[in-house]
Amino acid sequence: MALAALVAAANASPVSTTLKARQDISAPYLNSEAQAKGKLWFGTAVDTTSAEVDNSDYMTIFNDTNIFGQTTPGNTMKWMYTEPEQNVFTFAEGEETIALAEATGKKVRCHNLVWSEELPSWVTDGSWTNETLLAAMKTHITREIEYYGEGCYSWDVVNEALDSNGSFTENVFLEHIGEAYVPLAFQYAYEAVESFCGDIKLFYNDYSIEYAGDKHTAAVALVQTIQNWDGAQIDGVGFESHFSTSFAPTQAEIEAAMADFTALGVDVQITELDVPCTSVPCSADALATQAQVYYDVVAACMATDDCTGMTVWDFDDEYSWIQPAEYDGEGDGDLFYSNLTRHPAYTAVSEAIEGSDCSVC
């Protein structure tokens, strides 16, 4: 869909003339509830390269700022999209997310600048030295931050730099620059923001850091390294929170993990929450477990003053990145079914925000 059409869809009134009979846009309203309790938002990812933005029923829910007050581009600001060839920058697809957000009063968590995945071949297969790759990384970070500017509330500067055992993930940056690529990325990002006196928060984002373990310990140490790096700045840590009905930490475990980071003076946010069932369709028991996991994650954030926002990794099962055919039968992990009615987990999230007991767990 063209950018103008996306914005027109966001501004159209009423959008609901073609709603499915069972589409649910009634109260409770998760973003309104979260903001009333002092959080910045309850939000959702969106992928403007997928069919979801051509689905008027989906977009009606996405555009409702009472439900979602923030968005994250699922893919379009990653390196392979924004710099497919060295020094050839293509920012139009990322602009679509910012335009959608601005049209409906949403903040944007811009995602991401440096990651070992979704890199163009000129990065992964290049003949690099330490000096030349640092220059390329700095150029990429600087150009992207300066281009999108204040359209971004925050940036995930580095994404998933750690393996499950706490060691650094093998990638082209580690190979040619070493572990210093992480604090250097934050240094370059901070310099870019300062160049136009911007107010943009800089985050480290990762999964399996939401509970105690080697990776969590390593992530805490990494934040301290960034904080101690001359010229670098880090404002927060994203807890991705990709869980399932077969594994998830408890609310107490998540709160303890958050406390380890907030004690360092940084914020935390839930950034990519989803909870697929191990098989689909989800059984009644699985739906209750799924609701409990959503409840525990959101309740942990609500109980943590410096957990400032919560984002699900899209909200409709039809467009989830976890599809049964690709993930050994797992699926249906979002807050809305493919027909855009709500999982019981939607009620659980509302109850967690409001501080009441879970009635559907």
Which residues are identified as catalytic?
Answer: 272
Intra-chain end-to-end CA distance of the chain, in Å: 39
Q: How far is CA 350 from CA 28, 37, 132, 226, 297, in A?
A: 7, 12, 49, 35, 12
Alpha-helical runs (H) found in 47-154: 56-63, 79-82, 92-103, 121-124, 130-148
Question: What distance in Å separates the CA atoms of residue 238 and residue 272, rounded to the nearest whole number?
Answer: 8
HSE value, Cβ hemisphere, 13 Å, CA-based, for 241 = 36
For residue 257, give the 3-state DSSP assignment.
Answer: helix
CA 167 to centroid of chain Cα atoms: 23
Question: What distance in Å separates the CA atoms of residue 269 and residue 312, rounded to the nearest whole number?
Answer: 11
DSSP state of 157: E
Give the burial string for 140-177 (b: 16+ CB within 10 Å, else e): bbbbbbeebeebbbbbbbbbbbbeeebebeebbbbebb
The residue whose two tokens read 């969590």 is 216
Joined together, the tokens standing for residue 343 give 């999982």
Question: Residue 14, preceding bond cis, omega within 30 degrees?
Answer: yes
Helix and strand numbers (H, E) in the chain are 13, 8
Question: What distance in Å separates the CA atoms of residue 53 and residue 79, rounded to the nearest whole number?
Answer: 22
Task: Fill in the amino acid letter for 234.
Answer: I
Q: Which residues are CB-contacts of 116 (< 8 A; sequence separation ≥ 6)?
A: 160, 161, 169, 170, 171, 172, 173
